[in-house]
Amino acid sequence: MNEYIIETQDLNFSYSKLTHDIENLNLQVPRGSIYGFLGPNGSGKTTTIRLLLGLLKKKSGTVTLFGNSLKNNRLESLSKIAALIENPSLYNHLSGFDNLRIAARYRKVNQNRIEEVLEIVNLTYAKFKKVKKYSLGMKQRLGLAISLLSEPEILILDEPTNGLDPKGIIEMRSLIKSLNKEFGTTIFISSHLLSEIEKTCSHVGIIREGKMLFQNTVDAFRESQNENMIIEVETSNSELLNRTISPFFDKTKIIDDSFVNVTLNSKEEIPVLIDTIRKEEIAIYQVTIKNNLEELFLSLTEQ
C-alpha cells in the first residue's frame, strides 16, 4: 500500500494567464498523519485543497489519492474523503439532529450513524436545539458531524478554527486529535498560524506564494528552526569585523562596507558572535536574522 494517502507531483495551477498560483507543488501526506498545511493568507492553501478534490482543473502535474490517480478514480476516492472548506451550509431554523437527518438521507447513510457522529463531536446535549441558537464553534462541530456521517478515511479541514473563540479552538483541536487516534482518520488541516499547527499536527508543509518551502514531521521542523541561521551584522568597518570573527565562525561573508553575513549553527551562537565582536570594541549597529524561513515564521505567528 502507498505510504502517502495524498500525494501531488509537480502540481501547477493558475487562475489566469498572468498568475502562477500553485507552482510545482509536491505534497506528501502520510497515511494516518495529522498534516498541517501552513501558509500566510493568499499563499494557495484553499486552491490546493480544491485541486485535491478535483474542484479546480490543474494546469499540469498529478494528484494521487489512496495510491490512485485522481483522474481515473475520482468518484471512488472522493467517497472516502470528507472536506470542510467554507462555513458549513446548515438549516438554521432546524435542530442539529434534523440537519443530520436530512444529510444522512441525502447521502444514503444509515440513520443510526447520527447518534454516533453527535457523540464524536460532543453535541448530543444540544441535538434538539435549533441551529440558530448554536455558537459558531457548535456550528463548526455540526458541519464536522455531517462530514463524518460517511466514515471518511481522509478529513480535509480548511482553517477550521478561523473565527472561533479560545474555547471553541481548544474543542476543535481535541476533536481533531481524537478522530485521528480513535479512528485512524488521516487529517489534512490548513492554517495560517504556526502555533495552531504545532499544537495539533504530526507533519507540516509550509507554502508561500504557491510554492512548498518545507515539508517534514513537526519534530524535524522544530529542529530546523534552530539550524543554519544566516545573521547579518551592520558595523562601522566590515573588513575589520570579518577579520575578527572569521577565525571563530566557518562561514562569513563581507557584503559591503557596512554589512557582514555570518552563518551560525544555532541561536545559541548569537551571543557568542556578539561577544567576539564587542571584545575588539567594534561598533555593532544592527544584528538581523536573514533566513527566509525565519522571516516567514514571523508572519505565521502574527494573528
Ligand X SMILES: Nc1ncnc2c1ncn2[C@@H]1O[C@H](COP(=O)(O)OP(=O)(O)O)[C@@H](O)[C@H]1O
Binding residues vs Mg ion (CB under 5 A)? 45-46
43 exposure class (CB count in 10 Å sphere: 0-12, 13-18, 19+): buried
> Rounded to an integer, what distance in angstroms lies between the CA atom of residue 131 and that of residue 133?
5
> Nearest distance from residue 207's CB to ligand X, in Å?
7
**Measuring CA to CA, which residue among 28, 5, 62 is closest to residue 217?**
28
46 binds ligand X (CB under 6 A): yes
**CB-based contact 233:280 (threshold 8 Å):** no
Q: Candidates 23, 27, 34, 45: give the one binding ligand X (CB under 6 A).
A: 45
Give residue for cell 502507498. Answer: 2
Q: Which stretch binds ligand X (CB under 6 A): 38-46, 81-89, 92-100, 106-114?
A: 38-46
Q: In sequence order, what are the residues at sequence separation of 6 or more whose Cβ sits closer than 8 angstroms to the Cβ of residue 270? A: 229, 231, 264, 287
Q: Where are the beta strands (DSSP E) in 145-236?
A: 154-158, 186-191, 203-208, 211-217, 229-235
> Rounded to an integer, what distance in angstroms lies between the CA atom of residue 116 and that of residue 88?
19
> Nearest distance from residue 227's CB to ligand X, in Å?
26
**Measuring CA to CA, which residue among 178, 83, 188, 96 is closest to residue 133?**
96
Altogether, the residues listed in the chain come to a count of: 303
Q: Give the residue with the Cβ less far from ligand X, 150 or 161.
A: 161
15 binds ligand X (CB under 6 A): yes
Q: If contact means CB under 5 to 8 A according to the sort of partner, which of ligand X, Mg ion, none does residue 185 touch?
A: none
Q: Candidates 33, 43, 238, 244: give the one binding ligand X (CB under 6 A).
A: 43
Q: Candidates 36, 39, 96, 168: give the one binding ligand X (CB under 6 A).
A: 39
Q: Candidates 2, 3, 42, 251: give the one binding ligand X (CB under 6 A).
A: 42
Q: Candidates 8, 28, 33, 47: give the one binding ligand X (CB under 6 A).
A: 47
21 binds ligand X (CB under 6 A): yes
> Nearest distance from residue 29's CB to ligand X, in Å?
17
Q: Give the residue with the Cβ less far from Mg ion, 42 or 184.
A: 42
Contacts to ligand X by CB under 6 A:
15, 21, 39, 41-47
